[in-house]
Structure 1
Amino acid sequence: MNVILIVLDTWRRDHVGCYDNSRIHTPNIDRFAERGAVFENAYLASYPTLPCRRDIATGRYEFPWRGWGGIEPDDVTLGGTVHEAGKVSYFFTDVYHHWTSNPGSGYWRPFSGFDFVRGQERDRYVTDSDIVFENRTLDYPPHNRPEQPHFRNAQYIRKEERDWFSPQLFSRAARWLQHNADQEFFLMIDSFDPHEPWDPPRHYVKLYDDSEDDVMEYPVAPYDWVDGNLTEAELKRVQAIYAGEVTMVDRWVGHFLDQVENMGLMDNTMVILASDHGTHNGDHGRTGKNWVLWNEITRIPMIVWHPEFGHGARPVQFVQPVDYFPTVVEAMGLGVPDGVNLHG
């Protein structure tokens, strides 16, 4: 059996219809959820981005033993286990932390192959000095934010929606399927969106805030209290921008899942769709990913399709990202390598 694991960074559980939020437009994920199993008690383990990736890669808790970091030379990983068993494992991502000069590297190495979409967040991809910040998606200050490389990259790359980062990522993964579906595979798609900076095409924002008010827009909300940092109108716009980002991601997740369906792969492929953690968006008087771990951050969406089991189910078992490693290797008919003690 094939396995596809899709991780959407900073995707809140309450921003998808199948978790009882009819206000958020996620028709493609909702359609997928109708056929699969929607887990009611999925929670993060290690937090935030890279510690969670280590949980996924090793099947072992990163926290509390380590913090932000990469794969160690002696780590036994999920991608490597599949590859060493003679099957194809492939890693698609636009999470720039995997390639920074910080000790956040190595997650792609054990896979049979990988592809990296450049340009997210602080990725110093484009250095052209003649970039003109005109016709921007949002009214953000262009030159005085730490994420400025993101906006320079975006201004250089984007001509139409398919040039945004998550559309690029899921389109590349869909093309990969066309050339690899004849062999048994494990495919991991690690999407930085809907992580901030949030700057979807304007029509997605207007689904949630169609006012023409002249409001300062924050693609990165303050990691702080709302009071003293955001007006009521600014908070409403922050919430609309984030929701718009989620809806854009939904469209391109749907594009990819349609490819899986059209190629007849749903009959022999398990698909896991989940988040690593959420974010505060005005909840408890805060915005951003603070270290106060309320449910808006800790309780994550997780939807699983298996050809034989769980159709339409709402499992209540407690699950976490460390459970992916044993689940994937079992589904693919592989064993956990000798001497490896998994926490999942």
Structure 2
Amino acid sequence: MRCVLVLLDTLRRNNLRCYNPETRVQTPNIDAFAAESCTFDEHWIGSAPCMPARRDIMCGRLNFLERGWGPIEPFDVTLPALLRDHGVYTHITTDHCHYMRTGGEGYLQLFNTWDYHRGQEGDPWVSRIDDPANMPGTFYGRVRRQYQLNRGRWPREEDMPSPQTFQSACEWLDDNADADDFFLMVEAFDPHEPFDVPERYMDLYGGGEGLDRDYFEIPQYKRVSEAEVPAEAVDYVQRRYDALVTCCDHWFGTLMDKLRERGIFDDTLVMLTTDHGYFLGERDFLGKNYMPLYNELAHLPLLVHYPGGARAGERASQITQNIDVMPTVLDLAGIPVPEEVQGVSLMSLATDPSAPTRDYALFGYHAMDVNITDGRYTYMRAPVPSNEPCFEYAAIPTTIRRYLGADRPADIECGRFLARTDWPVFKVPVDRPGIIDQSDDALKEVSDTRLFDLAVDYAQLDDLTSHDDPAAKEAEGRMVGLLLRAMDECDAPAEQYERLGLGGAA
């Protein structure tokens, strides 16, 4: 059993030609890979953003109903650990800096070996007391002093962290291509912001023209109108993102070339996907986290090259999520899927195009609205105005760059609150979503319940909850029933129903 999982952070589905033939983005290597793979058309986000999505992948179950951003818990049953226990060698190479921060503990250590390439975003790597000489004088969005220090260590494209990640994966394959049982995870932080990209890729999209300031690589997570970013700058940052996708495509191509060079591409399961999308000015939004999980964020790419080339060039219409990665790999390896895993294996689709997967995708950010799609409708259930009761459950009470409940420790309880484990956990009251850090009104954008019919309104412009007709009311009632069933099947804590104004569990 050989499996390679490639995760490109913040890869927008609409920028890939296999999903959007009209895109201007040049991705010849991903295009070629799609022609040799099965393209999944109904692949949806699970837990958002970065680390919650990774816990989904590692554990095969949804993170966001119980907690937000956080580490691997001591009671988690994980894909790398199960593979190791059954003699499958596991390795991850990555430049994803959040693994090294408070709130990212325990992920890399699951693997037999891991390789980390430094410098992305605010990675505290290059140590200088004085400010860097390359700080821009004028800019839109944000500038990270630490990143400006770090980027001075990359005189060439191949020295940058994501290219280093792909080169490291190629070197690992050179050393281990003759092995029969391995799981290789290749996780690039790009095309996540900062949209730092060599000029040769920017030249494909008009170069640096059109920006009236020195720098725009890190958008603020705000509405375009609130951030006071003009249309010319929005166009510029869109081109930077597109250029970075093309850069990622180039290095993804080196990995695929290496698999072919070593003669193992044909019989290896290779999956390419992402954790979430991103807004680059659409709907007046920049960034992620604070707005509803519209399709720009929630509808994701998934390309699967099955061993032997099964389903090459075909498309799958079944609903899938990243929680399906774990059972798929376990199925390939002949390892029983643990009962607590909520995902389903996609291996049956290699031989049966009509094989069932699931009839819904449940997704969201912790402590915000809860969303569900059946492939036809997307229902976004807003919390009650108080957003209470709301708790996070954790045995390791860390979250992004801080500790859970540090502002109100006297209100934290400890007990056996999770039915699937005997481990005691902290029950931490939540005043506001932990991933909202650039807004004084954390729930402003998700205070309304929404319903969209994707068959006629993929752009999600016509909210059916505002319609006073029987068909819309019937659709909403059906989606409420599906949401209740899904929350029950996915072990939602009891207070989630009350927080969403849904009464008791199904």
Q: TM-score, normalised by structure 1?
A: 0.93
In structure 2, how many angstroms separate the alpha carbons of the residues matched to 1:77 and 1:300?
Answer: 23
1:34-63 CA-to-partner distances (Å, cap 9, x unmatched) read 110111011100000000000000001001
Residue 238 of structure 2 aligns to a residue whose secondary structure is: helix
8 A contact 1:147–1:197 mirrored in 2: no
8 A contact 2:4–2:268 mirrored in 1: yes
Hey, what does 1:193 align to over in structure 2?
190
State the Cα distance separating 1:129 from its structure 2 match: 4.6
In structure 2, how many angstroms separate the alpha carbons of the residues matched to 1:141 and 1:93?
Answer: 32
Relative to 1, partners in 2 of residues 1:243 and 1:214: Cα closer, same or farther, differing over 3 Å? closer
Q: Matched residue pairs, number?
A: 336
Q: TM-score, normalised by structure 2?
A: 0.64
Hey, what does 1:60 align to over in structure 2?
61
Relative to 1, partners in 2 of residues 1:106 and 1:226: Cα closer, same or farther, differing over 3 Å? same
**Rg (Cα) greater in structure:** 2
In structure 1, how many angstroms separate the alpha carbons of the residues matched to 2:132 and 2:143?
Answer: 18
1:167-194 CA-to-partner distances (Å, cap 9, x unmatched) read 1000001000111122210011121110
8 A contact 1:41–1:316 mirrored in 2: yes
Hey, what does 1:109 align to over in structure 2?
109
Larger RCO (alpha carbons 8 Å, 6+ apart): 1
Hey, what does 2:412 align to over in structure 1?
none
In structure 2, how many angstroms separate the alpha carbons of the residues matched to 1:299 and 1:145?
Answer: 27
Hey, what does 1:271 align to over in structure 2?
270
Hey, what does 2:336 align to over in structure 1?
335
In structure 2, how many angstroms separate the alpha carbons of the residues matched to 1:12 and 1:80?
Answer: 30
Asked if 1:87 is matched to 2:85, the reply is no
In structure 2, how many angstroms separate the alpha carbons of the residues matched to 1:211 and 1:276?
Answer: 28
**Aligned Cα root-mean-square deviation (Å):** 1.8
Aligned with residue 177 of structure 1, among 168, 173, 177:
173
Relative to 1, partners in 2 of residues 1:132 and 1:70: Cα closer, same or farther, differing over 3 Å? closer
Hey, what does 2:36 align to over in structure 1?
35
Q: Map of 1:165-314 to 2, 5 A cutoff?
A: 165-183=161-179, 184-210=181-207, 212-216=209-213, 217-228=215-226, 229-289=228-288, 290-308=290-308, 309-314=310-315
In structure 1, how many angstroms separate the alpha carbons of the residues matched to 2:147 and 2:84?
Answer: 33
Hey, what does 2:358 align to over in structure 1?
none
Aligned with residue 151 of structure 1, among 148, 152, 173:
148
Relative to 1, partners in 2 of residues 1:211 and 1:219: Cα closer, same or farther, differing over 3 Å? closer
1:135-191 CA-to-partner distances (Å, cap 9, x unmatched) read x9xx6759x956321221111x21111011211000001000111122210011121
8 A contact 1:140–1:218 mirrored in 2: no
Supply the AA of the counterpart residue of 2:189.
F
Residue 126 of structure 1 aligns to a residue whose secondary structure is: coil
8 A contact 2:97–2:121 mirrored in 1: yes
8 A contact 1:198–1:219 mirrored in 2: yes
In structure 2, how many angstroms separate the alpha carbons of the residues matched to 1:195 and 1:141?
Answer: 22
State the Cα distance separating 1:291 from its structure 2 match: 2.8
Relative to 1, partners in 2 of residues 1:323 and 1:214: Cα closer, same or farther, differing over 3 Å? closer
In structure 2, how many angstroms separate the alpha carbons of the residues matched to 1:322 and 1:43?
Answer: 10
Relative to 1, partners in 2 of residues 1:213 and 1:44: Cα closer, same or farther, differing over 3 Å? closer
1:202-238 CA-to-partner distances (Å, cap 9, x unmatched) read 2212322336345223211121111242111111101
State the Cα distance separating 1:246 from its structure 2 match: 0.6
In structure 2, how many angstroms separate the alpha carbons of the residues matched to 1:342 and 1:174?
Answer: 31
8 A contact 1:206–1:240 mirrored in 2: no
In structure 2, how many angstroms separate the alpha carbons of the residues matched to 1:99 and 1:243?
Answer: 27
In structure 2, how many angstroms separate the alpha carbons of the residues matched to 1:140 and 1:233?
Answer: 19
- Of stretches 191-200 and 122-131 in structure 1, the one that deviates more from structure 2 is 122-131
Relative to 1, partners in 2 of residues 1:75 and 1:211: Cα closer, same or farther, differing over 3 Å? closer
Structure 2: gaps spanning 5 or more residues:
344-506
Relative to 1, partners in 2 of residues 1:213 and 1:325: Cα closer, same or farther, differing over 3 Å? closer
Hey, what does 2:71 align to over in structure 1?
70
8 A contact 2:142–2:219 mirrored in 1: no
Hey, what does 2:11 align to over in structure 1?
11
8 A contact 1:209–1:236 mirrored in 2: no
8 A contact 2:39–2:316 mirrored in 1: yes
Residue 327 of structure 2 aligns to a residue whose secondary structure is: helix
Hey, what does 2:362 align to over in structure 1?
none
Residue 168 of structure 2 aligns to a residue whose secondary structure is: helix
8 A contact 1:9–1:195 mirrored in 2: yes
Relative to 1, partners in 2 of residues 1:38 and 1:214: Cα closer, same or farther, differing over 3 Å? closer
8 A contact 1:59–1:325 mirrored in 2: yes
State the Cα distance separating 1:336 from its structure 2 match: 2.2
In structure 1, how many angstroms separate the alpha carbons of the residues matched to 2:118 and 2:256?
Answer: 23
Supply the AA of the counterpart residue of 2:84.
H
Aligned with residue 156 of structure 2, among 153, 160, 176:
160
Residue 4 of structure 2 aligns to a residue whose secondary structure is: strand
In structure 2, how many angstroms separate the alpha carbons of the residues matched to 1:253 and 1:213?
Answer: 29
In structure 2, how many angstroms separate the alpha carbons of the residues matched to 1:70 and 1:109?
Answer: 11
Residue 273 of structure 2 aligns to a residue whose secondary structure is: strand
1:249-300 CA-to-partner distances (Å, cap 9, x unmatched) read 1100001111011111112210000011100011111111133211000001
In structure 2, how many angstroms separate the alpha carbons of the residues matched to 1:130 and 1:19?
Answer: 46
Hey, what does 2:490 align to over in structure 1?
none
Residue 315 of structure 2 aligns to a residue whose secondary structure is: coil
In structure 2, how many angstroms separate the alpha carbons of the residues matched to 1:81 and 1:131?
Answer: 46
Structure 1: gaps spanning 5 or more residues:
none
Relative to 1, partners in 2 of residues 1:248 and 1:341: Cα closer, same or farther, differing over 3 Å? same
8 A contact 2:211–2:232 mirrored in 1: no
In structure 1, how many angstroms separate the alpha carbons of the residues matched to 2:156 and 2:100?
Answer: 26
8 A contact 1:271–1:304 mirrored in 2: yes
In structure 1, how many angstroms separate the alpha carbons of the residues matched to 2:148 and 2:142?
Answer: 10
8 A contact 1:140–1:219 mirrored in 2: no
